[in-house]
Amino acid sequence: MAAVSAKHRDLGLTDHEYELICAGLGREPNDVELAMFSLLWSEHCAYKHSKKLLRRLPTEGPRVVMGPGENAGAVDVGGGWSVAFKVESHNHPSAVEPFQGAATGVGGIMRDIFALGARPIAVLDSLRFGELDSLRSRHLLDGAVRGIGHYGNSIGVPTVGGEIYFEAPYEQNCLVNAMCVGLARTHRMVRAAAAGVGNVIVLMGATTGRDGIGGASVLASAELEEGDDKRPTVQIGDPFEEKKVMECCLELLAGDLLVSLQDLGAAGLTSSACEMASAGGVGIDIDVARVPLRNPDLEPFEVMVSESQERMLAVVEPGKVDEVLAICRKWETGGTAIGEVTEGDRIRIFDGAEMVGDMPVTLLVDDCPLYDLEPAEPEEWIYGNGDPQLVGSGPSDTLLSLLATPTIASKRWAFEQYDSIVQSRTVRRPEQADAAVLQIPDAKTAIAVSIDCSGRRVGCDPYLGTVEAVLECAQNLACVGAEPLGLTNCLNFGNPEKPTVAWQLDRSTRALADACEELGVPVVGGNVSLYNETDRGPIYPTPVVGMVGELPSPEGLPTAALRAGDAIAIAGPFAPALAGSQLAKLRGELGPGLGPFEIGPVKVAITEVREAVREGLLHTVHDVSDGGLACALAECAIDGGVGLQVDLGPLIGDADPEAWLFGEGPGGFVLGGDVIAIERLVEAGTATLVGIASGDGIRIAAGPLTVEVAVDDAAAAWRSLGALMEATPA
């Protein structure tokens, strides 16, 4: 048995894992090797508790150009063009330093996109924080939003959509997930695999420093403990440096000067070099003495594991190195030859003439043990409930309270800090429609993008809640006439070594696979972020879903705003329930379970609504989600500045009228349009006519219950987040 030292435990390796490393090497690792193994065998890099589950996901599709295993996924949008996209997390760094954590999360996901040869054209963000009566949550929200805006605005990529949830389980462990979409000439896209013995390894971009050492890869592989001073491990971002690196890489790829390209993210040179070697079935030599340093006294192991931002690693044919370095000088990106591709299966690290590390690629990348989960369904609700806030409220007051809830309220305070129209592609931006729409004149088409998940509902039922997240994204795309082409995901969960979290992860990945199979949507890539918990417990299980769809034209699309005189109808197999709803949360009544539904009928409704949008029949389309049907109708009225009179009687039957007002579940759409167009949909069985848009009041009858509020009062409640952020917590 290999000798056991305390050092490997400090680096996050178990005794068993250390013994496997020693056996694979035939000796104990030195400090450089141990640091590299500790990162590549971390949860963040190796997915050792989730990789087996991810094999369930469907990844094939007729439009898939690149799937899992590459820097990002990509789908064909015609005319020789592809759209690349991916979502990733920067949760733990953002909980330590929210501005830099969120900013570098945006920078990292952009590098994944242009590493394929795609120009980033849009960013979306999915954020989770604790309740806003907490100073900590306000600090994290403010910092993360400023960081996202700073990086995206500075580099010139629009932030076109996203979501923000506020729930108590995220108080100590916020979630910052960033999604990027890019556009590429399909034939110019490159993979990350190193190839060609004798080819040169070129490092481009910023200098290498101590910022980020042991950062994302370590922080995302262990629970956060209160009081830990981990601020120095958070990376520092420079969007202007990234802009230069991006333009340099895209010019190099356009000139066919690179064999392959990889960004340096978590684990820095270690992960990029080793993953490129593994994908190509080759070895790589790296000389750390050649790496341009920000801190001249860095040790070899620090150079290999630094997570300094804005760096890329390329494989270049020897005859093209001079031209590559000349273009790097043009863009002031500091290109440097630091190694070469070798025959065999070894990663060798040199410090000048001295070899300081020598390891098999397969041992580093492929031989990390994968663990079977030991799931066990919890016997009771593990997340608790807050104090009831809506005891005895009537339906009108309930609607105003829900509209003012930060999770439901307008996020204008946040998205006004983002540039959503730079690059002039944005056709539908935040809150104009349920999905962002970008015109792609290069390919004579348009795409829609959505990102979504309600962790609260996944917490109530990991299977049904995850299916709902997939359906919600597909419904959002249908609202602008888009058909899904592919899906990316970011699976945010607690400690998978604990039976309850293992059960959540198992059920959620099964649901993701089943929903994607039934909808025919391939999963082209994603990210897993585990150990999102503290001694106060885990976050809600939050499998964030990002979806890209295609629509024939960006012209004449509906919005979420009603127009005076519009007929109003409800479409879809909507069967709302109060279980797991925002109202249940406000009443302190959350617990296990959600209302039942079937995917098939929702899929049919998605298709019908999409076709109605494409036929130009609708002015207004808005799906029903947080806060239920009453909130969805009110949002349409607020957006349009017009009242509405709606009677839900034809839909309710013997069902609970309060559930029809405020209950939640998949499959519901609010439609608005000319009376003749709506009657056509009613006659086709697609929708049920329920009312008309007129006046300055919102009146919704649901059997014995009636909501009656002024549009101005509803708007004031819905637009209250900005004032809330400026107020001092009690």
Would you please indicate which residues are annotated as catalytic (active-site) residues?
44, 90
Helix (H, G, I), strand (E, B) or coil at 112: helix
- DSSP 8-state symbol, 355: E
Distances (CA, A) of 296 to 293, 300, 302: 6, 11, 11
Exposure of 308 in the CB half-sphere (CA atoms within 13 A): 24
CA-based end-to-end distance of the chain: 59
CA distance linking residue 241 with residue 313, whole number of Å: 15
Reference 709, options 721, 690, 696, 718; nearest CA is 696
Copy the structure tokens of residue 368. Answer: 């990390």
CA distance linking residue 455 with residue 541, whole number of Å: 6
- DSSP 8-state symbol, 310: S
Sequence-ordered alpha helix ranges (H) in 41-90: 43-46, 51-54
CA distance linking residue 512 with residue 48, whole number of Å: 19
CA distance linking residue 239 with residue 237, whole number of Å: 6
Bridging pattern class, strands 697-702 and 705-710: antiparallel
Bridging pattern class, strands 523-529 and 620-623: unpaired
Instruction: Name beta bridge partners: 692.
Output: 567, 645
Exposure of 632 in the CB half-sphere (CA atoms within 13 A): 32
Sequence-ordered alpha helix ranges (H) in 641-703: 649-652, 657-662, 675-683
Reference 201, options 316, 300, 304; nearest CA is 316
Copy the structure tokens of residue 416. Answer: 């006004």
For tokens 């088409």, what's the residue?
Answer: 445
Burial of 230: CB neighbours in 10 Å, binned 0-12, 13-18, 19+: middle
CA distance linking residue 75 with residue 39, whole number of Å: 31
H or E element that contains 182: strand 175-185
Reference 448, options 554, 520, 548; nearest CA is 548
CA distance linking residue 336 with residue 312, whole number of Å: 11
- DSSP 8-state symbol, 441: G
Reference 718, options 400, 394, 393, 390; nearest CA is 400
Helix/strand/coil (H/E/C) assignment for every residue in 452-510: ECCHHHHHHCHHHHHHHHHHHHHHHHHCCCCEEEEEEEEEECCCCCCHHHHHHHHHHHH
CA distance linking residue 4 with residue 42, whole number of Å: 18
Using only the alpha carbons of the chain, give its radius of gyration. Answer: 26
The long-range contacts involving 420-428, CB below 8 angstroms and separated by at least 24 positions, are 420/158, 420/159, 420/160, 421/158, 422/153, 422/156, 422/157, 422/158, 423/121, 423/156, 423/157, 423/158, 425/121, 425/122, 425/158, 426/122, 426/158, 426/160, 427/554, 427/557, 428/480, 428/557, 428/559
